[in-house]
C-alpha cells in the first residue's frame, strides 16, 4: 500500500505504512463463533455498532495499523505509556541526532483550573522568549557536536540534549487499543502537542475503518474535541 502521511507540529509526521484488516475483518472475527460470514453492508455495519455499544471489543483486535511516527521526545514518553502495542525507536547510541528540535509557534501559560494542564494566553515578550528557546537549542546542539568531535561516545554525548529533540519510532497497534489512544490523547485534557498527533491518527483511522469510527464516536468517545466527529 502507498503510505499515508500527515504533517504534525513543525517537523513531525504520522505515516501509516501498513494496514491489516478493516471493518469487514471485524465482522468476520465476530461471526466466526457462529460459523457465518459477511451478510451485506447494512447488516455488517449494524453488527459493528452492536459490538461497540455493548463493548464486545475483541473482534476489533484483528485489524492492525503500523505507523512511522516523528515527534518530540516529551511527546514520545507520553505515547509509550500506551503499552498494548509494539514500539521500535531510533537510538542515539547508534546514530548521531540531527538538529531537529520542536519550536512552538506560541507559548502557553499554566491552566488555572488544572495544575497539570496549560492554555493559550497572553505572555509578555513572547517572540523574545521563543527566540531564547531557539538560541538554547543552537547552543546545546553545538556542544553536542563538539563532544562527538572530541571522541565522546554517542550514548553519553546525547545526555545533554533536551526533551524537545525529535525522535522517530515504529508503532504497531490493533484497532481496539488505537481507539483507547484516541479516547485519551485527543481529549481536551491531553497535552496540546500529543493531541495534534492523536487528531492526525484519528483521520487515518476514520479513512481506513469508517464503520468502526462511526460506532466509536457514537458509543465510546466521551472527550471534548470538535475534530472528533463522524
Summarised one tens digit per residue, pLDDT across range 132-149 is 999 999 999 999 999 999
Range with the poorest average pLDDT among 44-48, 139-143, 155-159, 222-226:
222-226
**Percent of the chain residues past pLDDT 90, beyond the cut:** 91
Cα-Cα-Cα-Cα dihedral of 184, 190, 193, 195, to 10°? 40
Report d(CA 165, CA 103) in Å as an integer: 10
- Neighbouring-strand partners of residue 101: 165
Residue 115, pLDDT above cutoff 80: no
Determine phi and psi for 148, rounding to 5 degrees. Answer: -65, -45
Residue 111, pLDDT above cutoff 90: no
The H-assigned helical ranges of the chain are 23-31, 41-53, 73-79, 126-149, 154-157, 175-185, 192-208, 210-219
**Residue for grid cell 561516545:** 153
Q: Which residues of 210-222 are buried (b: 16+ CB within 10 A; e: fewer)?
A: ebbbbbbbeebbe
SS3 97: coil
Query: Which pLDDT value is given to residue 30?
Result: 97
Over residues 165-195, the pLDDT tens digits come to 999 999 999 999 999 999 999 999 999 999 9
Report d(CA 1, CA 18) in Å as an integer: 7
Query: Which pLDDT value is given to residue 116?
Result: 79
Residue 31, pLDDT above cutoff 80: yes
Q: How many CA atoms lie within 13 A of 13 on its CB side?
A: 12
The catalytic residues are 185
Query: Which pLDDT value is given to residue 112?
Result: 83
Query: Which pLDDT value is given to residue 1?
Result: 78
Report d(CA 72, CA 176) in Å as an integer: 25
**pLDDT classification of 212: cutoffs 50, 70, 90:** very high
Query: Which pLDDT value is given to residue 84?
Result: 96
Residue 102, pLDDT above cutoff 90: yes
Average pLDDT for 46-50: 98
Residue 230, pLDDT above cutoff 90: no
- Count helices and strands (H / E) in the chain: 8, 7
Query: Which pLDDT value is given to residue 201?
Result: 98
Residue 225's contacts (CB-CB under 8 Å, 6 or more residues apart) are 186, 187, 188, 195, 199
Residue 204's contacts (CB-CB under 8 Å, 6 or more residues apart) are 4, 6, 14, 16, 65
**Residue for grid cell 554525548:** 157
Amino acid at each position: 500500500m502507498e503510505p499515508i502521511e500527515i504533517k504534525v507540529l513543525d517537523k513531525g509526521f504520522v505515516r501509516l505504512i501498513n494496514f491489516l484488516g478493516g471493518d469487514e475483518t471485524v465482522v468476520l472475527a465476530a461471526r466466526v463463533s457462529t460459523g457465518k460470514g459477511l451478510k451485506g453492508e447494512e447488516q455488517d455495519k449494524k453488527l459493528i455498532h452492536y459490538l461497540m455499544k455493548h463493548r464486545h471489543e475483541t473482534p476489533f483486535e484483528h485489524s492492525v495499523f503500523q505507523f512511522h511516527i516523528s515527534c518530540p521526545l516529551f511527546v514520545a514518553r507520553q505515547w509509550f505509556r500506551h503499552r498494548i502495542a509494539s514500539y521500535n525507536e531510533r537510538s542515539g547510541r547508534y546514530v548521531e541526532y540531527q538538529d531537529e528540535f520542536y519550536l512552538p509557534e506560541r507559548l502557553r501559560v499554566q491552566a488555572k483550573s488544572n495544575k497539570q494542564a496549560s492554555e493559550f494566553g497572553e505572555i509578555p515578550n513572547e517572540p523574545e522568549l521563543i527566540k531564547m528557546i531557539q538560541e538554547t537549542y543552537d547552543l546545546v546542539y553545538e556542544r553536542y557536536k563538539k563532544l562527538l568531535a572530541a571522541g565522546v561516545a554517542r550514548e553519553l554525548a546525547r545526555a545533554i540534549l533536551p526533551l524537545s529533540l525529535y525522535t522517530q519510532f515504529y508503532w504497531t497497534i490493533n484497532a481496539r487499543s488505537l481507539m483507547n489512544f484516541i479516547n485519551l490523547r485527543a481529549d481536551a485534557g491531553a497535552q496540546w502537542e500529543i493531541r495534534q498527533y492523536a487528531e492526525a491518527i484519528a483521520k487515518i483511522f476514520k479513512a481506513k475503518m469508517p464503520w468502526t469510527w462511526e460506532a466509536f464516536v457514537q458509543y465510546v468517545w466521551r472527550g471534548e474535541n470538535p475534530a472528533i466527529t463522524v
